[in-house]
A and B are shown apart, each in its own frame.
Chain A
Amino acid sequence: MAVQTAETAPAAAKAGDAGSLFAHAFKDALITGLIAIGLLGPLIGFQTIIIDGALGLGYRPGLLAVMVGIIFAGRLLLNLTVWSPNRVPKTRSGPSVFDRLGATVGPGVKPALLAFAAAFPFISFYAMGGWNESRYLIDLGILILTYVMLGWGLNIVVGLAGLLDLGYVAFYAVGAYTYALLATSTPVNEFFAGLLGETFWANWAFWICLPMAGLFAGVWGMILGFPVLRLRGDYLAIVTLAFGEIIRLVLINWVDFTGGGAGIASIPRATFFGIPFNASENGFAALFGLEFNPMHRIVFLYFVILVLALITAFATVRLRRLPVGRAWEALREDEIACRSLGINTTTTKLSAFATGAMFGGFAGCFFAVRAGFVSPESFTFDVSAMILAIVVLGGMGSQIGVAVAAAVMMGGMEMLRNLGFLTQLFGNDFDPSLYRMLIFGFAMVAIMVWKPRGLVSTRDPTIFLKERKSVSGDLVKEGHG
């Protein structure tokens, strides 16, 4: 952990006196180094190892020395450059670099990204030279888009309405289990088999359950949201966390209903609007005159999640212009002012909560159909934290920021896994995926300290007089509610 807080330089270090400046910088860095030894010493310097069932100690003085050395040198360099008392701090009133960048390339970026996302399976097909070779890339694309959609869904709750929801994964789970339970249910299958034919339910389950999963998750959002939405921000966060955990624990322990920790397997696959992706005569490939390839289903899933994500984004953009959307944003900025102006804060919050939950439910249903298997393992607090990290990093309330953050965080981690030189650098047992949550946590803290508004922090006014002027997030101060 880098102890590198900006600290006011000692008053004695007057400008111009280079010798004393260096002495002070050195002293400060030395103290930081000592603190770093204290912080990292126990956990990095020693390692508890289990040898033959008994616990023993391993020693890592080299690693400790390297890390403390990095912190010492880094602090010294920063003291001499960025935090030097000679340096005149740059004040900025206008939008930041990222914001300006966003403003200049902004109009072109969204269509470009959209076009790229739509063409992605075909690009990877040509780049890798075949469907089977591009499977990995398309799977990664599906994963990223799932998190983009979850990020956009949570963005409605956290970014627009300013309600910190730590239990978002609960709605993801509700959506996934809705589909998993309905699709594998024998009575439902028999009911439709008698009514509409033997294979009807297997072919149409996903398309019937998708809206149901969303609705169901939205209803759950209301049920859970109704009692808690009177609470203030951080209490609300904790209670949503508690609800998320309760749902997961119930999923684990209610074995008769949910299958318990073992989960539900062999969930029916997605179909092309009733046409299954198989090699039979009525399959997708045969009907469209293509050669059968299991990748058709994966590519189709990619487009399903792309469309679902775009629906989320579109709905958010349109909702922001409705009175309810404006009320959400007003609520985020100042709850007391909202109440004085006659906005019913409970229904406003509830609508935001339920809308966000609904999109979480859609994403959950998609997750179940893609994986073909659900278990409570997939719905831990870590997932909630990951989605929240994506929203926070991208800039709460910013659509494009969230999408970029999801792509960078999920894609970046996958890329990290494949970088061969890292294993050469850190030894063969180095597994970058272990560091994923570590980096997520660190990034959340770093972003909060460095740019609390996220990378894209401008506020777009919903109504304006002549031209739309974006407001830098630094100039917006949220009230307390």
Chain B
Amino acid sequence: MRRILAGLSLAAGLFAQVKYEDIVKGPGANWLTYAGNYEGLGLSSLEQITTANASTLTAKWSFTVPEASGLRTRPIVHDGVMYLTNSNEVYALDARSGRLIWKYTDLKAEKKDATNRGAAILGDKVYFSTVDVHLVALDRRTGGLIWRKKYGDIKKGEFATSAPLAINGLIIVGNGGGDVGMRGAVTALDAETGEERWKTYTVPAKGEKGAETWGEYIEWGGAATWLSGTYDPALNTLYWTTGNPWPDFYDGDRKGDNLYSCSLIALDATTGKMKWYFQFTPQDTHDWDAQSWPVLVDLPYEGKMRKLVFHANRNGYLYVLDRVTGQYLKASKLVDKLDWSTGIDAKGRPMKVKGKDPTPNGNRVCPGVRGATNWMSQSYNPATGLLAVVTLEQCDVFTSSEQKPEPMKNFAAGGAGPRPKDAGQFFLRAFNPITGRKVWEYPMTGKANMWAGAVGTKTGVIFVGDDDGHLVAVDGKTGQHLWHYQTGDDVFASPIVYAAEGKQYVAIASSKTIFSFGLFEPVKSVPLPAIKIQ
């Protein structure tokens, strides 16, 4: 017996750790961070699947998450293991077969009813957030709990759904809850110990600079940080987006710009100090959170090489900013249905159309409450200069209420939704953000019900979940359909591309099931081995 144990414990081979430098390199066989790489390009370097052979893709495996309803997870893949999340749960699957390796269920979470967008990985740890705002570190090999650290408070209206972002020695997390009153923050925890290193609030405290842009309810102002951000390692800067001011649909108690809601904020990754902010929608009354991807790209702009950030915003505009200074450079329209502003002025402020705020009797405004786009993933390909964005053409009727706000009581001072005959339509659109030109679009059928995003490959294929439950492949240059697969369910998540044992896969979660696809290969008959029970 002892000899057997000794032999087992000395089994050969290393199970490689994830280094920060591995994440910096960007996605190859591994998909190590929520957006694939720190810059948020959503672009894989793998080359097996091309526009020429994508039509032969076939389902390789699927895995149904038993407790799931509306999975939002975008998995991480490392060394042939896929890590995906559900509310308060992490699953480790074999990325080639879809078989379960381990499952972690958080036993202590005080709240369960929410979604989860994904995990992070660094060293030997897999990280995810519980609904009750704890960062959990798990042993990536066993799923064993290493630590569980509180970084927010559900008793103050916060909860957590976003994927953490792992950078060099730090895990960066955000919070949610901005529709019922809370205070947004970005928090950095030590990757090894979970100790808090810094916390930057997205709504100033009373008396601080920016507090004058709020009113009586500043302590519950919102500006939640519920989507993982992007990161520029050279500038050591985090780019994080913030949500709506609270209460969502009535601004009578918050006269001013409501800083730093509906903004992109640039934070020093070491200290959390805000380097700059850019507010897309000052004094928002349409629940147009800025939660969409800050895509970091270096390109010539007006004859000069610039470090840029693209941002497709819920308010209907696609922005180009200087990511060193936050300087506004350009905005162009994402959607045709846009009537709340006549454009963006030279300083980057929207030129609002009067009479477009919500009213007690309802006011039709475009885009609708879910925005021209949202948190679904995007894909930028430097070879084509095109940013693929899922967009929604929809108008909603917005109502408001002057009722005295009550935080944490499911109160948003109004609501929004489409008229029955005014339903929206999703499109995958490819924009050149520098020229502002829409180069192609792929219209979707469906009930305007999805949250699926896109991922691209350097070989020019773009995969996107659609509004009818498909995963679709299109040509990244033209938008031409190449392939599709019906998942039989709604799709609320974004796809990834990875490889295991030298074979390329693309994976996406439907509402309850994760699917993985690869190029067709005939199945060989499997001879059964001699099996002995001892």
Q: Do A and B bind each other?
A: no
Chain B interfacial positions (CB closer than 8 Å to A): none
